[in-house]
Structure 1
Amino acid sequence: HLIRTWKVRVGDMVEIISGKDKGTQGEILQTDYRRNMVKVRGANLRRMKDKDGNDYQIEKKIHYSNVNLLDPVFKKPTRVDLRWTEDGQLFRVAKQSGTVIPFPDRSNLVADWSDYKPGPKDTPPEIAMEKSYNYKEDVQAMKILRQTMSKYNTDIQSC
């Protein structure tokens, strides 16, 4: 089932609490909200080979329930309580120490498009926004098609 409100986000420091990498601490690199999985830096590593045969390691996903946020005071895994302020802002509170755990800064995740140069397969915005479908012509064509193809049309003699 889908988790309605996630307590961990990309950029949070977590510790793995079960599995072969139990005790490993790392940063969350990716979240998969549909499968309830997270990718943690340096945890659940798998060996892969590239085209040249060289070995390298990649992080595989871990289930959401196998990680806990790190308490900012004790630097140990803790359970987290979600609370709202009077103005509707969501914040997290560590159950062990009672300190507020701020959500990670997401400003570095926003792409900078100021120096973007269009490639050979990019469509210019003027052409992309051009109207290319005429609804009225299509409706008239469908009416004519229905009249000629209808099995109840008595005007057309069958062979």
Structure 2
Amino acid sequence: MPDTLEIADLLDLCRSKGLKIAAAESCTGGMVGAWLTDVAGSSDVFDRGFITYSNAAKRDMLGVSPATLDAHGAVSEQVAREMALGALSRSQADLAVSITGIAGPGGSEHKPEGRVCFGLAKRDACQTETVEFGALGRAKVRHAAAKHAVKLLAQAALSLGKA
């Protein structure tokens, strides 16, 4: 878990700007949501989390297109984008982060262990990125991915405020 102060600072920043956040998590299985809700009073900032580990959950809960999943696979920036946009549209949030990756063990030549794709959706934009954490082991990849998602939310909150 990141430092509790880091999480509290993110929540305070969002609170001061009137922002709500949502998370759509696959390989992290709800870690971001758990970290955010470890801080008392987070309910005024953290709207909801979606744990969409299976492709069916990604489709049903977030509206990820079956065609996108078929064409690119669950671990792709295209799916991360649709996850983030789906979380934003299915919540009261102003910011939504998504995480989908291969925590391990395993992976393939094309999608190695430690590859995690992120999406960050705001009201008017969505950005994606892929981070190669490497074959650190399942627990460390999941932790690093969740921590990176928190960092993405903080960076976005700094640059965004309600009109």
TM-score normalized by structure 2?
A: 0.22
Structure number with bigger Rg:
1
More helix by share: 2
TM-score normalized by structure 1?
A: 0.23
